[in-house]
Amino acid sequence: MKYDYGQSFYYAKHRKSKRKKLILGIIGACLICVVIFSIIFMPGSRVEDELISGAITDTITPMNSQNPTKTPIFDQELIQIINDEVGKSKAEYGIVLTDFENKKSYRLNADQTFTAASLYKLWVMATLMEQIDTKKISKKTILESDIDSLYERFNIASPSANAKITISVVNALEQMITVSDNTTALLLSSRVGMANIKTFLEKNNMTNSTLGTVDSEPSTTPNDIARFFKLLYDKKLTGSSEMLDILKRQKLNGKIPKYFPEGTIVAHKTGELFEFSHDAGIVYHPNGDYMIVIMTKSKESMRQEIDDEIANLSEKIYNYISEDRTNNSSI
């Protein structure tokens, strides 16, 4: 089974190089905490009461943060299945589930920010499609770069000393998505331009997603990734049909589709980086399609365990939707 792991990732830095900044940051944070503590817990302060009264949060309660009165949530049985699986996990989960057939939705921590990992490659693909459509670049265009200088441009340690890459745009796109290749992702990011990728996010209202900086990785939320796939499914993005076809050829299938019936079509993209593991896409169910976004954060050493959790949860959702639709069709 192939996984979207590897030695180098977009904006992934050597953590040792940040140690000095981290130590200084910790010292500064401690000083700030001392000041805040002295203010909050001064005699007669009302802030302490407010903090305590607001401390309890529902971490696994389904949230329907968009159109809560218009979009019905899934049946309580499915909600309980998801809550049970998430509740026994050691990972933090963010989930968006949308049944296009029955117009039902489920959200869990949908506005929580996660490191995007390789999900950022979806934005690169969509920006590239816009530029192909406007003739700014051709699928046949040959891209060339010294790999060392390419990785240096993005402040990443190069995996291939003194090597070069020469590849067509169409082949680079295929590799970036279907095997989550990092070198072609950097090559295409450089060609389409980071400013244009940012513009794509802004004009499509993915306002909680960022490309990152020299000292931070790209970030996003389950809601933003769900929005991307909804726009893609509704054919509202340039080149939607072609992008879906590429995503259907995904070769990293160890999570969402792992335990699906043989032949099930899923257009999806994975992402793994350090303690983060994600998978998101469209499931083409025999009785109607649905979208699923699962984003997680756990210990890096647990990543394969969490991947299998995602696969098990996805299978339970698939089976429930299959049974639910069968029962409804017989009524």
In the chain, where the domains are located: 15-329
Whether the per-residue pLDDT at 119 is higher than 70: the answer is: yes
Rounded Cα distance between 212 and 263, Å, is: 37
CB 112 within 8 A of CB 94: yes
Model confidence band, residue 287 (pLDDT cutoffs 50, 70, 90): confident
pLDDT tens-place string over residues 259-276 = 999 999 999 999 999 999
Whole-number pLDDT of residue 190: 94
pLDDT tens-place string over residues 18-68 = 554 555 566 666 665 554 554 444 444 332 232 222 222 233 334 333 333
Overall average pLDDT of the 147-168 stretch: 86
Determine how many CB atoms are found less than 10 A away from the CB of residue 219: 19
Model confidence band, residue 213 (pLDDT cutoffs 50, 70, 90): confident
Angle between helices 240-248 and 222-233 (to 10 degrees): 110
Whether the per-residue pLDDT at 216 is higher than 70: the answer is: yes
Query: Strands of 265-273's sheet, edge to edge?
Result: 104-108, 92-99, 290-297, 276-284, 265-273
Model confidence band, residue 202 (pLDDT cutoffs 50, 70, 90): very high
Residues facing residue 283 across a β-bridge: 266, 290
HEC sequence for 23-55: HHHHHHHHHHHHHHHHHHCCCCCCHHHHHHHCC
CB 173 within 8 A of CB 191: no
Model confidence band, residue 212 (pLDDT cutoffs 50, 70, 90): confident
Q: Which CATH number fits domain 15-329: 3.90.960.10, 1.10.620.20, 3.40.710.10, 2.60.120.640?
A: 3.40.710.10
Whole-number pLDDT of residue 133: 98
The amino acid sitting at 208 is N
